Chains A and B, each alone.
Chain A
Amino acid sequence: MDQDLKNELSKHGIFATTFEELYNWGRKNSVWPLTFGLACCAIEMIATTMARYDLARFGAEIFRPSPRQADLMIVSGTVTKKMAPQVVRLYNQMPEPKYVIAMGACAISGGPFRDGYNVLKGIDRFIPVDVHIPGCPPRPEALIHAFMALQEKISAQHLTGEARPRHLKQELPSEFPVPEFGEHGLEPAQNDEVFHNPLKVLQG
């Protein structure tokens, strides 16, 4: 429906909308994160939920203690190789639609600990990430910005057609393989279905 016509109708007390808009409006304003923190970024995440920054303004006030009730996983902090299978398992246990924010340098790439023997070089090797926030740690404003970016992403999605979100595509997976502990590291070291291999990106 044309936006001008909608505005005109609303002046006459008629509210017109589409099912898609209503659905996305509800979806984007009730994203409940998982109570899940890994390192110092989690402290900033906690600060974001408190009165001063008040993430509740965006409908995300309830951090769910169970992945079964959560919509959003904020990977806040360093993911060690020992923790990575548990992170993937938690993600698998969340019901669709589900989103992931990779918060901070460590969750994106391993950050300052990248060369360590025990650190996963970015959670995007195993689960699909919707929004990345740089920073070490990112300030609460940055997390709020990431949250707003995620809301924009949700409200721009169409329910039909090729551009529809992942959870509406039957053929796409909602669970991802959990890596195993190997003799020298995680096996596999990344999930090639999810991970955008930098070498392949360079080669075009």
Chain B
Amino acid sequence: MTLEEIRSRLQSGVPGCQVELVVNGSPSGQNSLLLDRDHGLAAATLLCDQIQLDFCSNVTAVDWPDREKTDKVKTKQMVDGEEKEIEHTIKTRIPGFLEVVYHLFSMTKHLGPVVIRMRTGNRSDDVTLPSLTPIWRSAEFQEREAFDLYGVVFEGHPDLRRILMWDGFTDYPMRKDYVPPPDDELERLREQ
């Protein structure tokens, strides 16, 4: 079963669900499906029950900080009575987001890995995603890890606590913009 087939099954089985094929251009060519987070739980239920992807081997998160994309566009303009091509650079700001990645396998149909992704709205206050732990129990600790290190809040998780860092810790150390606090004066000086 190809990703395209799974995608059309999802679109017909879950009304209103946006599924996007994310193409991986590297030699591994491991493409994935980007699920829309409002229908994430329903789509995952379908994946588990109907396509029999019954095993979730891996959950991780990716931090995509705000970035700027520069495109060069050539336009034709009249300069001094002559037609000339002029290059413009257009900068577009792409707001950052957090992304979680699930690797799914089917033990019964020997299928996999099927990679699904979900994205949050931004990196600060809109970081909620549906928890898939009710469907794949093996996601429980790994979703806690993504919450601990990246700050993704999983709605519907049975026990969402920090798992590696202590409870009073307030940072998300695997985010790109995290800077560990300097531990002594020498390090503080080196930073200056």
Q: How many residues of B contact A (CB 8 A)?
A: 17
Instruction: Tally A-B pairs: CB < 8 A.
Output: 47
Judged by a CB distance under 8 angstroms, whether A69 is at the interface is no
The secondary-structure label for the interface of chain B is loop
Q: What is the size, in residues, of chain A's interface with B at 8 Å between Cβ atoms?
A: 19
B180 in contact with A115 (CB, 8 Å): yes
User: Given A118-B165, A199-B184: A184 and B170 within 8 A (CB)?
Assistant: yes
Asked whether A138 is an interface residue with its Cβ less than 8 Å from the other chain, the reply is: no
- List chain A residues, Cβ under 8 A from B181: 184-185, 189
Residues of A within 8 A of B180 (CB): 115-117, 185
A182 at the interface (CB under 8 A from B): yes
- B residues less than 8 Å from A125 (CB atoms): 183
Interface status of A7 (Cβ within 8 A of chain B): no
Select A190's contact among B166, B171, B183, beta carbons within 8 Å. Answer: B183
Which partner residue on chain A sits nearest B178 by CB separation? Answer: A117
Check A199 against B166 for contact (C-beta < 8 Å).
no
B188 to chain A, nearest CB (A): 9
Set of chain A residues within 8 Å of B168, measured between Cβ atoms = 181-183
Contact B186 A198 (CB under 8 A): yes
* A199 CB contacts on chain B under 8 angstroms: 184-186, 189
- B170 close to A121 (CB less than 8 A): no
